[in-house]
Structure 1
Amino acid sequence: MASTSVSRTVPASPDRVWNLIGGFDALPDWLPCIPASTPLEGGRVRRLTNPDGEVIIERLLDFNEAERHYSYAILQAPFPVEGYVSTLRVHAVPGRDDIAEVQWSGRFAPDNATDDEVVALFTGIYRDGLDALHQALSA
């Protein structure tokens, strides 16, 4: 199993950040590489489409509103991994109510790729996503 994690401080309160990213179907609201998301199975599954029209299907595994995090698994995607599970989490920054730390982490087994290749792939996706979140909250 390979894994990666990226954290980024963003210019908004933890509640404001969670209100933007905490909905399982909310990726298009802040992540430019996912322009479309369709909720399925009562919102427990999301069907995402990337700009190339490729489909990614993910299932919500765990959701905690009070602690501001959710975990999900990829069921179908054009990525060279299997057993992918990821968590998106919003942390308060002690002594500050105007910023939050967002952590996006995942673990997965490479499939026809090396550990280094898939770690680099998802580290880039998480980093670019959190940069986009920072920009969305700065606007």
Structure 2
Amino acid sequence: MPKPYASAVINATADEVWSYVRDFGNIAEWLPSIETCEIEDQGDGGGGSGVGAVRRLTGAGDAVFRERLVALSDADRSLSYDFVESPFPVRRQRSTIRVAPVTDTGQAFVEWSGEFDADAGDEERMTKIFAKAVYAAGLDGLRKHFG
């Protein structure tokens, strides 16, 4: 099972970054490939950031992604989501974002990882797309957001 990964140090505290990233409905603000994000199902506790929340994303060429928040931990500063619908040739895709403090500088260490199933001919290409075009690009968007 492929496991794409990207990480970055962000010039803000872990609490500041987590407060921003945990908002399941704001990904279009910091992931360059996403044009719109609409919360379709509020999930537990409402507000669109509870477990079970579903977001509908549109990307380039009107590509539609629907993702369900499956885990959220403020204590661990982490969230995980699964694809509900995707134009990508993957199955059982799960991604996790985790934010931790860099103890000697006060900055945030953010890692975004995933795993998915795909046909053997799609695995390498999809691993690169997730690692570079999604995860690394999103972390770069967070860097820009926090200056």
TM over 0.5: yes
Q: Find the counterpart in structure 2 of residue 64 from structure 1.
A: 73
TM-score, normalising length from structure 2? 0.87
- 2:105 corresponds in structure 1 to 96
Q: Greater strand percent: which structure? A: 1
For each residue in 1:26-79, what CA deviation from the matched residue of structure 2 results, as whole angstroms up to 9, or x when unmatched? 202212221211112213110111132211000110001122110000011111
What residue number does 1:27 align with? 27
Query: Is 2:142 the partner of 1:128?
Result: no
Aligned Cα RMSD in Å? 1.4
Identity of aligned residues (%): 34
**In 2, Cα distance between equivalents of 1:114 and 1:51:** 20
Q: Could you tell me how far apart the structure 2 residues matched to 1:57 and 1:111 are? A: 21
Secondary structure of the residue aligned to 1:2 is coil
Q: Is this contact kept in 1: 2:17–2:99, CA < 8 A?
A: yes
Instruction: State the 1:18 CA deviation.
Output: 1.2
Supply the distance in 2 between the matched residues of 1:118 and 1:15 (Cα, whole angstroms): 31
Matching residue of 1:105: 113
- Specify whether residues 51 and 116 from structure 1 end up closer, same or farther in structure 2 by C-alpha distance, changes over 3 A only: closer
Alpha-carbon offset, residue 112 of structure 1 = 6.9
Residues 80, 113 of structure 1: 8 Å contact kept? no
Q: 2: distance between equivalents of 1:133 and 1:19?
A: 12
Partner of 1:40: 40
- TM-score w.r.t. structure 1 length? 0.91
Distance 1:15 1:96 in 2: 14
How many Å separate the matches in 1 of 2:124 and 2:19? Answer: 34
Q: Which runs of 5+ in 1 are unaligned?
A: none
